[in-house]
Chain A
Amino acid sequence: MTRRHGVQIAWVSAAVLIAAGAWALWHFGPDTQRFFPKCVFYEATGYYCPGCGATRCAHHLLHGDVVTAFRFNPLLVLVLPYLAWGLWRQLRRAFGPVDSTPQKFARPWLIWAVFVLVTLYFILRNIPVTPFTYLAPPAS
């Protein structure tokens, strides 16, 4: 077994896990079921992290309700196309031509901009004043 085979097996295993997770998330609403994990960071500190609301966001996305999903975690909805593109390139590298590039998104200033965006988002969504409250997940 080559390293490439190992990577392929890891991807297939991950796909099965993700599909199972997506099914559970689609079928059970995080608002009504208790077994979905609450954000550990929020429980510990009382502050919203950049990921707070992501579970409910993904639940509404799976039901095609982009507007509600956006309300729970706008950053996740906005970066989702990029994440999907990154995943696609990674999969193409694992299963497609051997010498394909994993990523072409390679401008340093853009990546620093992502860093600044995530950090600002983290800070701003914790300011309890309109309009910043729209960045925080609504209470449910």
Chain B
Amino acid sequence: MTQYQAPGAGAPAPKIDNWLWQSIVCTICCCLPLGIAGIVFAAQVNGKLAAGDVAGAQESARKAKMFTLIGIGVGLVVNIIVIILQVVAAMAAQQ
């Protein structure tokens, strides 16, 4: 990985959350495609930060957060619907 000297080197690098672990949770636990998109944007955050592109890194972090949160939300909703359907089906089978 090429190391660029960030403009204004010496100033502390801004702290930007890359949402990596959350997107891995999303990938493994509920909603696969959006979680993988989250991992890709997480990688972009730190790539852009290393290149000194702070605005780009913030934009990627925003997208990583968006995809991960939508993924977790969709995953939760879908799974709750599936649980309800399975409970209903199990109760119907007992009758």
Contacts and interface: CB of A to CB of B under 8 A. Distances in A.
Interface residues on A, range: 35 or more
A86 B58 CA distance: 19
Contacts, number: 88
Contacts of A36: 83, 86
Interface residues on B, range: 20 to 34
A36 to B, nearest CB: 8
20 contacts: A34-B90, A36-B83, A36-B86, A51-B32, A54-B28, A79-B28, A82-B24, A83-B21, A86-B20, A86-B22, A87-B21, A103-B20, A103-B21, A106-B18, A107-B46, A111-B42, A111-B46, A114-B39, A115-B39, A115-B43
Interface of B: 1, 15, 17-18, 20-22, 24-25, 27-30, 32, 36, 39-40, 42-43, 46-47, 49-50, 78-79, 82-83, 86-87, 89-90
Which 10 A-B pairs give the minimum distances between C-beta atoms? A86-B21, A111-B43, A37-B82, A102-B17, A108-B47, A51-B28, A37-B79, A106-B46, A49-B32, A108-B46
Nearest to B78: A40
Nearest to B1: A109
